[in-house]
Amino acid sequence: MVRTTVHLLRHGEVDNPDRVLYGRRPGFGLSERGRTMAERVASGLTARAADLVYLAASPLQRAQETAAPLSEAFDLDVDTDGRLIEAVNYFEGSTVGKDPTVLLNPRHWPKLVNPAKPSWGEPYAEQAERMFAAIREAKSRAAGHEAVLVSHQLPIWVVRRTLEGGSMIHDPRRRRCTLASLTSLTFDDGTLVALDYSEPCRDLLPDSSTAVLP
């Protein structure tokens, strides 16, 4: 029996004082606290002698910076994987997380009519398809060992909801995918046998960690 674990790591806190919904926009790197989070994740996996042999990250700056301490700690190159990128969002660039009244503008209403799709961005089914493709590749490349994929809150949450058979209609503030959290998928001979979740940086989370931000 070959046991393989693929960890889905959400990036650390981003330097974003204006609380812009940054989505796929360039130029949003980790804050000082976010860098501390990334270092802690790497230190924690090192301390338990994780058998990490494969590391990949979304091409966005915040994901690449979160992967960097892991790359150094485990002497691994970071495989930049576009399938791990943040979801497309119609409201990207707005401050809807800070000021939800933005949604009261009638011109936005057509984008809010179908939360099951969702109508405001990349369909959940498409997010799941690309994420599971990346997971399958990581499982293959790390067979018998461990892999880390650095991604973003919503794509990781879509994976979890899919595996647990949950509805995609949900309150974003209740996603169990905090900053620098690990959603860990364990496979025996290709069959998923465990889904675990941990928050190694829980004590570092800002009060705004549950805000509707990517």
pLDDT tens digits, residue range 140-169? Answer: 999 999 999 999 999 999 999 999 998 887
Provide the token pair at 145. Answer: 């060992």
Which pLDDT band, with edges at 50, 70 and 90, does 109 fall under?
low
Cβ atoms 38, 66 nearer than 8 A: yes
Instruction: Note whether 103 and 110 are within 8 A (CB).
Output: no
Residue 53 burial class via C-beta count within 10 angstroms: exposed 0-12, middle 13-18, buried 19 and up: middle
Residue 206 or residue 50, greater confidence = 50
With vertex at residue 92, the alpha carbon angle to CA 207 and CA 112, rounded to the nearest 5 degrees, is 90
Class of domain 3-210: alpha beta
Q: What is the mean pLDDT of residues 163-178?
A: 86
Tens digits of per-residue pLDDT, 72-90?
999 999 999 999 999 988 8
Ranking 61-75, 99-113, 159-173 by mean pLDDT, the lowest is 99-113
The domain limits of the chain are: 3-210
Q: Which two tokens stand for residue 26?
A: 């360039």
Tokens 């009638």 locate to 106
Average pLDDT across the chain, whole number: 91
Is pLDDT of 210 > 60?
A: no
Confidence of residue 208 (pLDDT cuts 50, 70, 90): very low
- Check residue 131 and give its pLDDT: 98
